[in-house]
Amino acid sequence: MTLEELVGQKLVFGIEGTRVTPAVVELFRKTRAGGLILFRRNFESREQFSKLIGDLEAALARRLLVMVDHEGGRVIHLPEGVTVFPDAQAVGVCGKADLARRQGEMEALELRRWGIDINLAPVLDVLTDMWNPAIGTRSYGKDPERVGEMGRARIDGMQSKGLSACAKHYPGLGEAALDPHQDLPTIGKSWKALKQSDLRPFLKAFEGEVDCVMSSHPVYSELDPHPSRPATFSRRIIHDTLRLELGFSGVALTDDLQMGAISKRVSTREAVPLAVKAGHDLALLCSDAKAQEEAFDGLLWAYKKKDLADSELEESVERINHLRAKREGRFLEGSPAPEKGGKELAQTLARGGAEILHEGQGLIPISPRGCLRHSISAIFPDLSAVARQIFIEPELLDARNFLKRIFSQFGIPLRSIEIASIDPPPPERVRLKELAREPDLVFFFSSDAHLFPGTRELLKVLQEAPARLVVILLKEPHDLEWIRSRTACVTGYGFRACQIEAAVEKIFSPG
């Protein structure tokens, strides 16, 4: 390989659109980029998605590493042909490693039919009591042992069926108070503290020979000689600790180098050489063709100037090629489709992950028979407002019929179903407060009270209204902060249909 070809192997690019354009082909030819990361913006149909991958590889006459961020729960980029599994926190609460492994096996078969080589999952970050805007229900929970057990089981399942897994975000993003997508967090933990908690799930993954690890962007002020240096650029954290001390021999990836945590501080041309010098094998740049060209130019120039070692480049490309060689073909035989039994497994995980957070002074669990004597209403958020940013299941876009169906399973007729704004303005809050004066019982499906003041205010006024109130948390359990102890509250740790159904079942199911 030429130096240009070796350098290109270390770059993973995202592209715009659903077709391979001449500009895309030229970008990959010029930069020799070795990897492709795909998002929802690249999906239009099954046939189109497969054609996009095939057309690009045919035009380049070479094999790419194709990856997708398919965590399950709130992070799903393929809107069809896959099982919609619940968020990791629900799986962690369920606590059954054999089911987590089955999830991994099913995901592998589904994603390999789509032509995917690497799934950028699972999240192995350990949660704390603080609100974390970046992780939340993406984590298996607060117990390092549980996080490691569930993550390792899922990794084993994925890799046993031919899909490479990626443990993230090393050395642990659980205590980040800022979202690295937006800005640079600082985490002040020592190595000793990290080894007692955050690193334990990663060590479990390394024992299972996970194929890939993704690093995190925060500053770990106690870990690097330069306390303001992001982990992405820290040779102490990536090369010295991940490689030499912890013995990870697989492929190390950056998170997207165009996130605010990095892009607000250095240019792309500077960021990629810094990340490679730290010890990363692959640098992710998920958008902006101009920035991607600059990344290649900056990395090539760094090698030509001998700022980066040729010997490490060759070792890194050898690891990348070893990973690529694990895939014998591009598409697993068969058309993309959810695995048989996948929906049932998702429902089992969701049921095991639903919890009662407040009984509401004995309000729940509720006897369905007793509800027949009462007037009952439900308030559900308008998820169509976020459907352009996040995959929303079609049945949730028809929320009225969805709620009628799940409540009718218990023989409960809903008198009214109100679809509320994600962040309800004052007039809407007044109207919904009046609604809560009329029925005996109101079910409020609450989403992101941490983010939206309108939701927080609506929670307040509903809890002041005469009707008995049951709150179903659709996102982070930290929203419990705004739920009074006398208010009944349940969660399924996510907003996927299976999790909402499981949470409602919990309201009507004793024990």
- Encode pLDDT of 297-318 as tens digits: 999 999 999 999 999 999 999 9
Residues β-bridged to residue 376: 441
- Encode pLDDT of 180-215 as tens digits: 989 999 999 999 999 999 999 999 999 999 999 999
Contact between residue 492 and residue 500 where contact means Cβ atoms under 8 Å apart: yes
Contact between residue 489 and residue 358 where contact means Cβ atoms under 8 Å apart: yes
Supply φ then ψ for residue 130, to 5 degrees. Answer: -75, 155
- Encode pLDDT of 214-269 as tens digits: 999 999 999 998 989 999 999 999 999 999 999 999 999 999 999 999 999 999 99
pTM, two decimals, is: 0.95
The answer on pLDDT for 511 being more than 80 is no
Give me the pLDDT at residue 195, please. Answer: 93
3-class secondary structure per residue, 337-395 = CCCCCHHHHHHHHHHHHCEEEEECCCCCCCCHHHHCCCCEEEEEECHHHHCCCCCCCHH
**Which residue reads 């895939």 in tokens?**
327
**Which residue reads 């009214």 in tokens?**
416
- Of 201, 319, 300, nearest to 252 by C-alpha is 319
Give me the pLDDT at residue 372, please. Answer: 62
Active-site residue list: 181, 255
- Encode pLDDT of 384-431 as tens digits: 999 988 999 999 999 999 999 999 988 888 888 999 999 999 999 988
pLDDT confidence tier of residue 177, bands split at 50, 70 and 90? confident
| Cα 268 to Cα 287: distance, rounded to the nearest angstrom | 11
The answer on pLDDT for 46 being more than 60 is yes
Give me the pLDDT at residue 267, please. Answer: 94
| Percent of the chain surpassing pLDDT 90 | 83
- Encode pLDDT of 2-45 as tens digits: 999 999 999 999 999 999 999 999 999 999 999 999 999 999 99
Give the H/E segment covering residue 191.
Answer: helix 191-196
> How many C-beta atoms surround the C-beta of residue 411 within 10 A?
11
- Of 26, 110, 10, nearest to 341 by C-alpha is 110
| Cα 66 to Cα 119: distance, rounded to the nearest angstrom | 9
| Cα 502 to Cα 348: distance, rounded to the nearest angstrom | 9
Domains annotated on the chain, with CATH: 3-324 (3.20.20.300), 354-508 (3.40.50.1700)
- Of 59, 58, 56, 5, nearest to 33 by C-alpha is 5
